Structure 1
Amino acid sequence: MDENTGIYLHIPYCRSKCRYCSFNSHAGREHEISAYLDALRRHISSMADHPWCKQRIFSSLYIGGGTPTICESNALAELVAGCLAAFPFSSKPEITVESNPNSLSRDTLIALRQCGVTRLSIGVQSFDPVDLTILGRVHSTDDASAAFFLSRRAGFDNVSLDLMFGLPGQTAKSWRHTLESALALAPEHFSLYELMVEQGTPLAGMIQRKELSLPAEDEVVEMALVTDTLLAAAGFERYEISNYARPAFACRHNINYWENRSWLGLGAGAVGSLSGMKITNVADPALYIQRVTSGVAPYSAMECLCREALFRETVIMGLRMIKGISITDLEQRFGFSPKTYYGKEMDRLLEKNLLVITDDHLHLSQQALPVANQVLSRLV
């Protein structure tokens, strides 16, 4: 059976919507949560009987949002336990739950540990109060530290912190302060994202109206250098463009995603990839509840990619990883070699030292990491 398979489960509710957020998340609709969890349980039960799922051993479960820990602690724990019982999982699966500092309580953390959650991801974003205000976060820096210590006392020994850089008004000095504050907590993992200003968000409007301004490009480059210096000195390995981990703490669920393996997507707006078949669920939670409760499949789109499209997608996603992607694995999975398939374009990228081949792996060079998106766009 294929063990390179994960499950993504989406909880699309938040207490408030952050100014930068364009994800499928909804504030002020907490009254739907009970019905939504019921619908998720129905969806889980339905998919557990699907022949595709019965032929797999699942190695990871990732509960994302939104803010999953906005749910009542026992209800969330029962959902996790129900999912673990419904599907065939490996003996030691990685079970991650996303959270925000102001949504974590002792009872929630204990309930999650007891139901089998092994990994916690906390959306801190910054240890600078000014940054938090600009982003529209509703927690304080003290809340972030308190949430981390609570997770430790509850027994979590695998905690990841999400942080953001390139924020309006942020400097390399203030970013260093955030990183040093986060490192002082000694987590096992960091996800460090450069701000992407998404059209239609309140933050985009504030920037367009010149109420806020983004840092200069050279300042953002300096932030990246600060990141590499501090995290390397603290023993973290950069294993993906935005992700750093201590040895043995890389996120297995996300590696499966970057290797373009298979995963099942459950919940409103979740996307799954079942042996190359991309399935997207309806985004609106109320419509998702209605469809699942009525016994109607909650899909909004299905796409079966051809072999060449899957190959290109696998190359682009795999190159986000620092080690890159195995050329032999690509040939075995798709029957294509990157050099043969891309021809002169691949030769140009190799000649310019933007791509490198090391021990059967095609990967971005160190100089290409800051401009990774531009390099990858040439391989679409």
Structure 2
Amino acid sequence: MERFKYLCNVRFTFLGAFLVSHVLYNPTNSGAVSLTQQSIDMTLASNELVFINFYADWCRFSNLLMPIFDEAAENVTKEFPDAGRVVMAKVDCDKETSIATRFHITKYPTLKVIRNGQPAKREYRGQRSVEAFSTFIKQQLEDPIKEFHSLNELTELESNKRLIIGYFDRRDQTEYNMFRRVATNLKDDCSFHVGFGAVSQSMHPPGQPIVVFRPDKERSNEHDETYTGNMNNFDEMHVWIASKCVPLVREITFENAEELTEEGLPFLILFHHPDDTESIRKYNDIVQRDLISEKQNINFLTADGKKFAHPLHHLGKSESDLPLIAIDSFRHMYLFPSFKDIDVPGKVKQFIQDLYSGKLHREFHYGPDSDSSDDNPTNPPDSTFKKLAPSKNRYTLLDKDEL
């Protein structure tokens, strides 16, 4: 929380000085494109990238940000003048309440990225300056696909990443344009690669491009799969590739922790040594075989035990205790008794069910239930990962009386 207070204070000081030169500034007359209920769908559908500033006129942080955002919008328009490429836009949430509700806006200003009509999972949380916004847009518009020039290059790709590989006759194929659009949306979840012409001709029939998924073989026992759907159907291809790129078991990092906590689901986390791939594969197998029915209720994660040493310490454990499994309910952390028990049929699933039933929390306060085979009650510390979630108060609250 203190980190966010510090950022807000720094931003306010810097922007306050900037605002002095914009006293008479009208945030709705220039710069970013103002979106309304009548125009938003067409704008989203007709542009590869739309970067939206959701603001309120009464919010001081919105007013401080607006001239900077508008100046960045003017720069971006000059640098990327082609229609359909990128639009920096703004939404007055007091006037366009239905849009604010649609995009779940609860604080101002909120900056969201829409790629090919679909919201990105992560809000923009970077530096708020003209230069930073311009750089961010350039990065978003970079080609998300890496071209390989021989099949041998594919053998050198990292085996701990999920890969989508396309084999095409040429770059101007309509199927490749569809593939590139999907890659633009999912570039944060998968690594995309492509080969053209003679480089890939041995991998597909002439005129019939193919797309192949290669799993992160160090982390799972999944196998390569080939897309069999319509290569010219964006939605169909997007659904298939997304299902491959976003695995049931994900790795939590400091970069994606906010995104994962915002999903609001408890974490079942395998803490492992960074060199231990065997426990990761075993954990993946258990989740796929026994726990897939719980995917709507809990996030299955792995965590580098060295990087996340603090949660281990919080649990009274250290690197020498790895691997181990824990639940973070965002209230408490509960430790699975022994990693060796992962092979006992139903043991991990029962651990999750004990969270849902309140048994884990109940045993913390009152000791084991009478029918429990455990000799000792659990002794859960407070949640650690909830502290990595974004502050709900990072920006101005919806209640105007908070100002």
Question: TM-score higher than 0.5 here?
Answer: no
The structure in which a higher percent of residues are helix is 1
Q: Tell me which structure has the larger Cα radius of gyration.
A: 2
TM-score normalised by structure 1 residue count: 0.25
